[in-house]
Amino acid sequence: MTCYENEIIDAHIALENWLGQGEGDLDALLARFREDFLMIAPSGAHLDYPALARFLEDQRGSRPGLKIAIDDLTTLQTWDNGAVLHYRETQTRPDQPVNVRWSSAVLNQEGDAITWRLLHETAQP
């Protein structure tokens, strides 16, 4: 498994802990994302870094019992300091419908850190 694939998994563990249990360090979580980060949500909404920071601040512990599973993780392309990855994310919560989405992410390596530049999510019906 590459460092980029590990980051996909590690970031989702951190998000599961933050959203599902209210555990973790917000600064450490936000440090995973570049200041020019852009996310395209399944709804088509665009979230930049400040919007992501507000979302995470507001949503701490808001999804009790959240579990996030990542599978079909594939590195599509790499270059000297980055990669494009594609994966399926399945979110489950007690007494809630299963939420499945396909995601493509652009990650960059900046020194020893892997950071997220772009995340594009598409809901799976």
Helix (H) or strand (E) holding 47: strand 46-48
Determine the Cα–Cα distance for residues 49 and 71; give it in Å rounded to an integer.
Answer: 26
Q: How confident is the model at residue 125 (pLDDT cuts 50, 70, 90)?
A: confident
Helix (H) or strand (E) holding 38: strand 33-40
Supply the pTM of this predicted model: 0.94
- The pLDDT value recorded for residue 13 is 98
CB neighbourhood size of 5 (10 A): 17
Mean pLDDT of the chain: 97
Determine the Cα–Cα distance for residues 45 and 81; give it in Å rounded to an integer.
Answer: 28
Determine the Cα–Cα distance for residues 53 and 97; give it in Å rounded to an integer.
Answer: 26
* Segment 48-95, tens digit of pLDDT: 999 999 999 999 999 999 999 999 999 999 999 999 999 999 999 999
- Hey, what domains does the chain have and what are their CATH numbers? 3-59+66-123 (3.10.450.50)
